Structure 1
Amino acid sequence: MRVITWLVEGTWPACVDAVRTHAPPASDVVLLHVSGPDVPAVAHGAFAGLLGRGRVERDPGDLLTDLGGTSAAELLEAAAARLGRPCTRIERSGRVEREVVAAAQDADLLVLARDGDRERLGPHSLGPAARFAVDHAPCAVLLVWPEAAPDLTTMPPHPPPRPPHHR
């Protein structure tokens, strides 16, 4: 069984714990971190547009790219240590949701955490990237709460009854 575990800052421990609990010991576990291009690109643009007369070596986008790579490596290292069994670590960059789906192409299971509203049950508990991955994953998906799930009383109320349809 090949298990892809999508690791995101702030929610990754729940994903690793889910793999430890639900993936058979002989599973081929892949720890995946995807860095989006957004933050460094914004910094590059700001520097070029507002401060473009400065020196290229002062471009903050380059620094953010380097820091992001270091952060991803540290996160993958911490996740591997928490997992406590052999695994493969993969870093990707690009459109996060599409990179996750592409990584799951040959997987049997994709493990990811809810990344939206974690105060109540419902569809808003998934952010856009997680929703895309859930909707487009070419394999089974294990969706976990990063912390204890909200109480059932947080579910949205029933919709009002529909009036009878007359012809």
Structure 2
Amino acid sequence: MTVVVWIVEGTWPACVDAARAHAADRSDIVLVHVADEELAAIAHGAFAGLLGRGHPAQDPGSRVEQLAAESAQRLLQQAADRLGLPCTRLAATGRIEREVIAAAQDADLLIVARDGDRSRLGPHSLGPHSRFVIDHAPCPVLLVWPESAPDLSSIPAPPPHPPHPPHHR
């Protein structure tokens, strides 16, 4: 059984704990972190637009890429340490949601944490990346709360319904 665990800043501990709790003893666990390709591209573009393309050594986009890679490696190491089981660590860069889907292509389970509004139950508890991943996952998904789930009282009241028209016979 292959279990892919999506490692995201702020929510990864819950995913790692879920992997430890739900993965079979002989599971292949893959920890996946994806750096957004747009961050470095924005820095490259801003530099080129402001200072021109004549000074590539001063381009902050390269430094952003380096910092993102170092951060990903640290985060994956922390996740592996918390997991305490043999695992594979995968650091990718690209469109976040598509890279996660690609990593889960041959998986038997994908573990994802809620990353939106976690103060109440409902669809807004999923951010756009996690919503896409859940909707397009090529395998079963275990969706976890990064902390305790909100109380059921956080569900909004149902909308008022108009009265039913009388039945005529």
Range of TM-score over shorter length: over 0.9
Map of 2:117 onto structure 1 = 117
Q: Distance in 1 between matches of 2:163 and 2:111?
A: 41
| Mapping of residues 101-112 of structure 1, within 5 Å | 101-112=101-112
SS state at 2:76 partner = helix
Q: C-alpha displacement at 1:53, in angstroms?
A: 6.2
The residue identity in structure 1 corresponding to 2:28 is: D
String of CA shifts for 1:115-134, please: whole Å, max 9, x gaps: 11011111000001000000
Map of 1:20 onto structure 2 = 20
Map of 2:62 onto structure 1 = 62
Q: Distance in 1 between matches of 2:165 and 2:74?
A: 59
CA RMSD of aligned residues (A): 1.5
The residue identity in structure 1 corresponding to 2:137 is: A
The residue identity in structure 2 corresponding to 1:91 is: A
Q: Percent identity?
A: 63
Q: Distance in 2 between matches of 1:129 and 1:154?
A: 23
Q: Distance in 1 between matches of 2:41 and 2:62?
A: 9
SS state at 2:39 partner = helix
Q: Distance in 2 between matches of 1:109 and 1:77?
A: 21
* Equivalences, count: 167
SS state at 2:141 partner = strand
The residue identity in structure 1 corresponding to 2:74 is: E
Map of 1:49 onto structure 2 = 49
The residue identity in structure 2 corresponding to 1:64 is: V
Map of 1:8 onto structure 2 = 8
Query: In 2 relative to 1, CA 155–106 (structure 1 residues): closer, same or farther, beyond 3 Å?
Result: same
Is 2:85 aligned against 1:90? no
String of CA shifts for 1:92-134, please: whole Å, max 9, x gaps: 1111101111111111100010011011111000001000000
Q: Distance in 2 between matches of 1:165 and 1:93?
A: 56
SS state at 2:30 partner = strand
| Mapping of residues 143-162 of structure 1, within 5 Å | 143-162=143-162
Which runs of structure 1 show a deviation greater than 2 angstroms over 4 or more consecutive aligned residues? 162-167
Map of 1:79 onto structure 2 = 79
**Structure number with bigger Rg:** 2
Q: Distance in 2 between matches of 1:60 and 1:26?
A: 44
The residue identity in structure 1 corresponding to 2:143 is: L
Q: TM-score, normalised by structure 1?
A: 0.95
Q: TM-score, normalised by structure 2?
A: 0.94
SS state at 2:10 partner = coil
5+ unaligned residues in a row in structure 2: which ranges? none
Q: C-alpha displacement at 1:54, in angstroms?
A: 6.1
Map of 1:142 onto structure 2 = 142
